[in-house]
Structure 1
Amino acid sequence: MSVPDHLAIAKSFAAAPERWPVTPRFDPVERWYHHLAVADDYEVWVLTWLPGQQTEIHDHGGSAGAFHVFSGTLNEDTIATGGPGGPRVTSRDLGEGAGRRFGAHHIHRIVNRGTDPAISIHVYGPALTRMTKYRLAPEGLEVLTVERAGAEW
């Protein structure tokens, strides 16, 4: 059985916004998100980001995936653990049309540090069942919460 190319799926959804079941909205209080599709081995979400909106540092509960920036610019802070000196944070800007794949053990935060709203398409395989949220502490990553699909989102 082959593993789907999550980034290719995200790009295909980005290429056809007229087929999305909803029109993206922007919420000044919190990020807006909506399920676009669910298949046997992946799911697709659309997220919107006003300037300053961000996720907490989190993982995807063992799911791999990808995200594609449909419009605007997002910044991803990737957290690497296990090396000397505690966690390392690497930042990268991803502009419209950019995307990236990530593995099942990826820990990151996504931020709209720009001045314009952004929209992104996210694909996870298998579908998300949980996400762990963390905070950076002097001794490493500390677990804040473990959220379950269907309960917290």
Structure 2
Amino acid sequence: MFAVPDNTLVIPENPALRHPVRVALEFAADRDRWRHLLRYDPEERFSALVDSDELQEIWLMSWLPGQHTDLHDHEFAAGAFTVVSGQLSETVARRAVDGRAVTELHSLSAGQSRVFGPGYIHEVRNEGPDPAVSVHVYRHQRRAMRPYHLDPVSGPTRV
């Protein structure tokens, strides 16, 4: 063991250094913070802003079975999302070095997260029989969605 000198200062945590998955998991676990915002819209995926500051926005989203986003990126934003309840699937689209289209499917259940950065092209959907809830963190830019079309040969192109 070692002794901590009397003149030791505790440096406050820098929120900019907290990983967006950690932020998403903390907000997901604090249901009292967002429970009153939760709604299910039979027409489209529901979203509500839970918190924001100069560094990030935290959004709550609910997904009824069959609801989904279109293929999109978040422009220059980076961040993460965490599934609170239910199941979501994420399809990531990109162009390989040789120019061909590549898609990856990720199945996510409660407690699982995905990270994204600028230019990360994906779509998220609830293919399960039950509603799903997720928490999303967007950094470096306010929440934005740029649409894409997926050509099965050449990959994603911006619409």
Q: Which residue of 1 aligns with 2:140?
A: 126
Amino acid at match of 2:127: R
In structure 2, list runs of 5 or more residues that go unmatched. Answer: 1-13
Q: 1:132 and 1:48 mapped to 2: Cα distance?
A: 20
Structure with more helix by fraction = 2
**2:156 aligned with 1:141:** yes
In structure 1, list runs of 5 or more residues that go unmatched. Answer: 145-153
Q: 1:139 and 1:88 mapped to 2: Cα distance?
A: 9
How many residues are aligned here?
A: 144
Aligned to 1:18, the other structure's residue is in SS state helix
**2:51 aligned with 1:37:** yes
Q: CA RMSD in A?
A: 1.7
The runs of 4+ residues in structure 1 deviating greater than 4 Å are none
Q: Which residue of 2 aligns with 1:65?
A: 79
- Identity percentage over the alignment? 36
Deviations 1:85-136 (A, max 9, x none): 5221100100011112222221110010111100000001023253211111
Q: Which residue of 1 aligns with 2:131?
A: 117
Q: 2:157 and 2:116 mapped to 1: Cα distance?
A: 21
Amino acid at match of 1:92: H
Q: 2:112 and 2:35 mapped to 1: Cα distance?
A: 23
Q: Is the 8 A contact 1:21 1:36 kept in 2?
A: no
TM-score normalised according to structure 2 size = 0.83
TM-score normalised according to structure 1 size = 0.86
**2:70 aligned with 1:56:** yes
Q: 1:115 and 1:83 mapped to 2: Cα distance?
A: 37
